[in-house]
Each structure stands twice: as C-alpha cells, then as structure tokens.
A and B are shown apart, each in its own frame.
Chain A
Amino acid sequence: MYYFSYAYPIFLGLTAIAYFITPMKKRWGVLLAASLSFYLYYARFLTVFLLFTSLTIYLCAIWIDKIDACAALAKEYIPREKRAEYKNKFLWQKKAVVTLLVLLNFGVLAVLKYSGVASDSMNAFLQLFHVQAHFHPLPMLLPLGISFYTLQAVSYVVDVYRGKIKANRNFAQVLLFVCFFAQIVEGPIGRYDHLAPQLYEGHRFNWQNFTYGMQLILWGLFKEIVIADRANMLVSRVMDHYTKYSGAAVGLATLLYTLQLYADFSGCIDVAAGSAQILGIHLTPNFQRPFFSRSVNEFWRRWHITLGAWLRDYVFYPVSLSKPLVQFSRFIRRKNSSHLGKWITAGSALLFVWVGMGIWHGAGWKYLAYGMYYYLLMMLGMLFEPAIAKACKAIHLNREAVPFHLFQILRTFVLVNIGMLLFRANSLQSAVSMFFSIFRGTGASAITNGSLLRLGLDAKDFAVLAFSVLILLAVGLMQEKGVSLRRTVGEWPLPARWAVYFAGIFAVIIFGAYGTGYAPAALIYAGF
C-alpha cells in the first residue's frame, strides 16, 4: 500500500536520518538509494522499464545538446546565406531525436497498458466477420507509476529540445529525477527545472519544514484512512453489483465515489508532498480545492493540476501552433472571424488534449468516453458563453453575485459527479445503466426506511463521513480565503498546537477504516 503501509514511516524516518547525516553534496545519493530501494521493493523485475526510460531520456537529451552545440558552431563558420538551411537541418535532427524518444517511451507504455483492450477489441471486430483468428493479450505487466514517470521523463527531453534546460550528463541524477520515491506512485508530475535542482542540492534540516511536512502527512492519512477507505465500502458494494441497486443507493454511491477519489488521490499527494517537505523538497501542488470551481474548465485547473499542465504544455500548445492547425485557424477565421471561428480552431486543438486525458487514465472505451464527456462540456460551454452572457445581461442577472456563484459551483459539482460515475463504472455500458438507474427505484424513502444502512456502512460510519466532509469543507473555505492553516496552527501556543495534532492523530487511529470489518482499498491512481 505504498505510503499507507506500516513500513513506510520506518522507511521515511531512516531515509531522513541518512539524508541529514550525509555530507551536503552527497545527499542526493541517499535520495537515489532510498528511491531505488522503494521502487525495487514494489516493482521488482519491472524496474527494468524504469531503467529503460531513464536511460533513453538521458541519452536523447545529451544527443540534442550535441546537435545544439554543432548548430552553435555552424552559426560561427557558415556563411550567412546558408545559415537558414543549416538551422533547419539541425532542427529536423532534434525533432527526429524527440520523435524517437516519444515513440520508444509511449510505445512501451502503450504495449504494457493497452494491449489487453487492443486484443479484445480486435477479437470482437473479427467476430463480426466470423473470422476465427484470436489475438492473445500480453501478460498484465504494469510497472509502478509508469503513466506518471513516462510523462515526467518525456517532458525533460522536450524541455532540452526547447532550450529551456541543459541536458544532465550524470545518469544517476537523471535516474533520481525519474524515480524519486515521494512522487513515483501517483505524482505529482514534476518538471525538471523545478524539481531536479531541489533533488540534487542538499538541504539542511529545518524544523518548520519538518513540522509542516508532518502536518501534511497527518492530513493525508486522515483523508485516506478515515474518508476514502470508509467511503470505498459502500461504493464497491453498490458499483460492483450495480444491477442489484437503483435510486438513492446508486446516487449516494456516486457522491461517495467522488468523495473517495478526491480523498484518496489528494490524500496520497499530501503524504507524498509532506514526505518531500521533511527533506526540504517542495513538490508542485496537484490540487487546489477543486469542488469550489464554478465551471468544468476551472475544475480541471484545480484537479490533477500537473497532468493538466503537462497536457497544456506538451500537447495543446504544440498542436495549436503546428503549421496545419495555424493554417486551418487562419482559413476558418478568414471565412468566419466571429466567435464560431475561434470555437472551431480551439476545439480542434482541445480534441487532442481530451483524447489524451481520457486514454492516459486507462485502457478501455469508458476512459475515452470520460475524456470526451469533458471535451463536450467544455465545447458546449464555450459555444454558448456569448449567448448566456447576453441573456444574463438582458434579464439583469448579476453573474458576479454570490447566489449565482453558488449555482455555478453546484452545477459544476453535479457535472463532475456524472463524470465520476463514468470513471468508476466497470464499463461504459454499466455507467449508462447506473446513471439511468438513479432515477428509478427508491428515492427519499431510502433515507427513512433504513435501506441505506444496509450498503456496507452503518450509522456511525455515515456520521464519521458527514463530520469529515464538514472538516474538509471548513478547511477548504479557509484556504479559499487565503488562510494558511499550517502556519496559523504553527503559531499557536504549544498546548493548543499539540491539542490539534493529538486530535488529528487520534482521529486517524480511532476513526480510521481499518482492522476487523474493514478492507483497505487500493490507491486508485496508483493503478494507472
């Protein structure tokens, strides 16, 4: 269970002690040893895939650097009239290296992750024509964190290609950038210019970093063990046997799955970020109170931020600025310079982003449908935005008033829940079936007749969940107002401060969903 195993605190403690007693310049070596041990323990022989990725990005980055050095030299010695020709030649060489790197790494990811679905789809297709051939899927091999570290690794080479950073000539350091233990399981997806210098530079022990890190770990444990693992009991009971349930049961399971996924993913990220902060390393934030979003666009700016930023920088921008799309954009805008022209060109580039977002999450048509669901919502939102703005103006509706903001937040929450249902369902068909089953069967009567208490959670569990949601909401509201809770609590007098810490520790111990009667749930995003 990675960060939520009993062994993890011992591992983190030993790593921190070894890190701070090692001479400053060699501290990154401790991080590398700890990260490799962590990875080897969980991934075993699948570590070869991580080594393959690290080695390919290490070599390709140096290759690009050498091409850049040749280009700089050529600029000095080649006559001015031939410079453009050589510049293009070097640019094409660099593009070829990046293409090779992307094909190699995404190729490995595609084979490991999607071969099962590809062979199933191919077999189903062949059956339509009564062809007897049968494709056997490859054995299920999914190295820990491959979807996360592949994106991080590719971004390193692309950044070298773009001239944003220089290639690192030390393979061990590149390996550490790819496999740092605090982010290998579920991200956040780091960028070389932000993360790597922090990893390689030794950090002194800092009491504030230590206490803030511990607070974040405790907060992550609370989210994971008290909320996510508890919500999972009802969610898996209903959604894994969805044909037996309808009405309020499915509606409640959907709401609780949204809560579970948020608590699970953000809780894991909190533990990862807290662990790194103890060592003086600050990871990129991955969540920013997503359920306060007023639109699905905003939701995706606040939820899994590092994946959205990766897709923006390495898919959306290159696709938008590619020659065919720029020419298409000019053509459309010459024909129709209005809002519709912009909508069509933006929609063309966004399609790649949302297909990428969908299939990154997993193999299966439901993930593609998940990406397309958000794509459609965004495209419809953009298309009707001018008309909605005009209509609001006509009826004198103040879109900046609090009631309208609350309506927008609620609307976004409902739309996100529908997306979560699609995300959690075992297949696209079961998602559709579950969605329509919400409007059948028992409604409000399920609350009074006690049937909701027979779904895996008792009244005490519901009370703990309800109270936990109130705590999440209160903390979120304070953070939205710019209050730094960790700093505020850190400045309180010693007794008050420790009262809060003990309350947190005991909340996790007493109300944690573990032990007899509970089954720990696997980390959802670690499965990607």
Chain B
Amino acid sequence: MDKLLEILRGVNPDVDFTKEKDLFGSHILDSLSLVMLIPDLEETFDIEITPADLLPENFESAETIYAMITRLQENG
C-alpha cells in the first residue's frame, strides 16, 4: 500500500490519498492521469492492466486501486 501511495503522490502531491474516496468524481484522476499512472503500477507490482480494468469503480480510492492490483496479481 505504501508503494501505491507513493506513486499516487507523484500524480498529485497535494492530495491526501489515504482519505480521498472519489478520485474520479472530484477530478483528481481523469483518463489522462490514469494512463500516466498505469506504466508505474504495472512496473512496480508486476501486473498487466488491460482496458477492461480501467473502470471508474477500480480507481475510486487508493483502497480500490490496491484491491484491483491484488486481484490482478492473484489472477496473473
């Protein structure tokens, strides 16, 4: 989780990602910042993220992103 929070802080250092629960709704993340994030997530967690995973519900908060990473690692 710490690694993920570090990557997220790289997107926007002013946001407290431990508290934010609606990253898309509050425009902290958008489609552009999302695709910027993916190569870092793939490299750090050794996963493959496909367009099918790019659902708003997977990127609502740090917890949902972490849950998606865990799921992809298990299925990988």
Contacts and interface: CB of A to CB of B under 8 A. Distances in A.
B38 interface: yes
A317 B31 contact: yes
A162 B39 contact: no
Interface stretch (A34-42, A250-258, A342-350, A454-462): A342-350
B43 interface: yes
A164 interface: yes
B52 A163 contact: yes
A162 B38 CA distance: 18
B50 A321 contact: yes
Given A163-B52, A164-B52, A346 B32 contact: yes
B43 A162 contact: no
Contacts of A320: 35, 38
Interface residues of A, number: 21
Interface string A473-514: 000000000000000000000000000000000000000000
A341 to B, nearest CB: 9
Residue in A320, A329, A382 with the greatest tally of chain B CB atoms within 10 Å: A320
Question: For the side of the interface on B, what is the size category?
Answer: 10 to 19
B67 interface: no
Contacts of A349: 35
Given A162-B50, A164-B52, A329 B39 contact: yes
Given A162-B51, A164-B52, A316-B31, A321 B36 contact: no
Contact of A326 (B42, B52, B54): B42
Contacts of B39: 326, 329-330, 333
A221 to B, nearest CB: 33
Residue in B32, B42, B50, B54 with the greatest tally of chain A CB atoms within 10 Å: B32
B28 interface: no
B15 interface: no
Interface in A146-172: 162-164
A326 B50 CA distance: 12
A313 interface: yes
B1 interface: no
Contacts of B32: 346, 350, 382
Residue in B35, B36, B52 with the greatest tally of chain A CB atoms within 10 Å: B35
Nearest to B32: A346
A312 B36 contact: no
Contact of A318 (B31, B42, B51): B51
A346 B50 contact: no
Interface string B28-58: 0001100110110011000001111010000
Interface in A241-289: none
Nearest to B55: A164
Nearest to A341: B36
Residue in A321, A329, A342, A345 with the greatest tally of chain B CB atoms within 10 Å: A321
A424 B37 CA distance: 38
Given A342-B36, A346-B36, A330 B49 contact: no
Nearest to A349: B35
Contacts of B42: 326
A162 B36 CA distance: 21
A350 B32 CA distance: 9
Contacts of A314: 51
Nearest to B43: A330
Given A329-B39, A333-B39, A382-B32, 15 more contacts: A162-B50, A162-B51, A312-B31, A317-B31, A317-B35, A317-B54, A320-B35, A320-B38, A321-B35, A321-B54, A326-B39, A326-B42, A345-B36, A346-B36, A349-B35
Interface of B: 31-32, 35-36, 38-39, 42-43, 49-52, 54
For the complex of A and B, 9 pairs with smallest distance between CB atoms: A162-B52, A320-B35, A317-B51, A318-B51, A317-B54, A312-B31, A329-B39, A346-B32, A342-B36
Interface of A: 162-164, 312-314, 316-318, 320-321, 326, 329-330, 333, 342, 345-346, 349-350, 382
16 contacts: A162-B51, A162-B52, A163-B52, A164-B52, A312-B31, A313-B54, A317-B31, A317-B35, A317-B54, A321-B49, A321-B50, A333-B39, A342-B36, A346-B32, A349-B35, A350-B32
